Amino acid sequence: MKNGVTGIVALLASMLTPIHAYGVTVINAINFSTFQADSGITISVDSSLATLNEQLGKSSVLLVNDPGVGDAVVMSGGTGSQLIFDYELTKNVGDNDEFGFFLIDSATGSPLSVESTFYTKSPGVGTVTISLAEYASVQLGMQFQLVSLPNDQATTATVAISNLRTEAAAYGPISDITLTSDIPSPQQAGSSVTFTAQAEGGDPTQYEYQFKRYGPDTNSRWVTVQDYSASSTYVMATSEPASVGGHAIKAFVRTVGATADAQDVYKSWLCHR
């Protein structure tokens, strides 16, 4: 029987060709056409640039997107996602103003955590990145503001906002898979064996696993015994005499929702009387 197992292993080695799953960076440009803009705000013709201009007699100038009050939904949270924008704050002699940004929970209209805010009084240019990872279940809005602070003696401050976008973090390929068992081979028919797949690379929070089995129990053909799911383990139950002989288990790992580009690995197994 061991010689038969050796033949099966050789056959499987010739059949299996790993395919790698690659992560993708998805960039979603957001324009300002869906925002509520106070007077004193100018928006470019293509809606890609918004400029907040300080106004005489007003303590703040606001640019807001809030789906909770009917604005379009322009972003969503989740693992690996982030909101990014560029800004240029200009101030002159006598200006004492602050540029600010924060995320809004559209269900309540309230600002979210401190980690999702940005404030500066320093003139200059910069790029701001806000993680959206923890907000997968939150409908998000956002607010930009230019606020006059105490002792503001001029009304010439401006802030230009551009390249507003969301990005999903880039991940490399699923680079390696291992498949282990909780007990060694060979075992007597009637034993239960737990196989565990582990992968490296890609986004580990988005792995899903599939298991196939080959051997006497499946009429010597590959059969899917556990379809794609978040479970990285498969329990192979054996019986006598049906399971006596050589087996192979193949594990596939891919990113959740993918329809191709899974990587695979296999492990041989022997059951005896």
Can you give the residue range of the structural domain that contains 203? 2-22+172-272
Pair 64, 120 in one domain:
yes
Q: Specify the range with the lowest mean pLDDT, choosing from 14-28, 193-207, 217-231.
A: 14-28
Tokens 């799911």, residue located: 229
Is residue 114 within 8 A of residue 62, CB to CB? The reply is: no
Pair 121, 247 in one domain:
no
The pLDDT, as a whole number, for residue 174 is: 80
pTM: 0.58
Mode of pairing for the β-strands spanning 36-37 and 110-111: unpaired
Pair 163, 57 in one domain:
yes
Domain boundary among 138, 168, 198: 168
Pair 35, 134 in one domain:
yes
Domain count across the chain: 2
Phi and psi for 251 in degrees, rounded to 5? -115, 140
The pLDDT, as a whole number, for residue 202 is: 74
Domain boundary among 136, 152, 168: 168
Pair 110, 161 in one domain:
yes
Domain boundary among 145, 168, 191: 168
pLDDT digits (tens, 9 = 90+) for 68-100: 999 999 998 876 789 999 999 999 999 999 999
Pair 112, 239 in one domain:
no
CATH number at residue 206: 2.60.40.10
The pLDDT, as a whole number, for residue 33 is: 95
Provide the token pair at 48: 């890609």
Provide the token pair at 114: 């401190």
Average pLDDT of the residues in 167-188: 82
In single-letter form, the type of residue at position 83 comes to L
CA distance 149 to 190: 77
Pair 181, 239 in one domain:
yes
pLDDT digits (tens, 9 = 90+) for 129-172: 999 988 988 999 999 999 999 999 999 999 999 999 998 766 66
User: Sorting pLDDT into bands at 50, 70 and 90, what band is 15?
Assistant: very low
CATH number at residue 75: 2.60.120.260
Provide the token pair at 11: 């056959």
The tally of CA atoms less than 13 A away on the side-chain side of residue 210 is 19
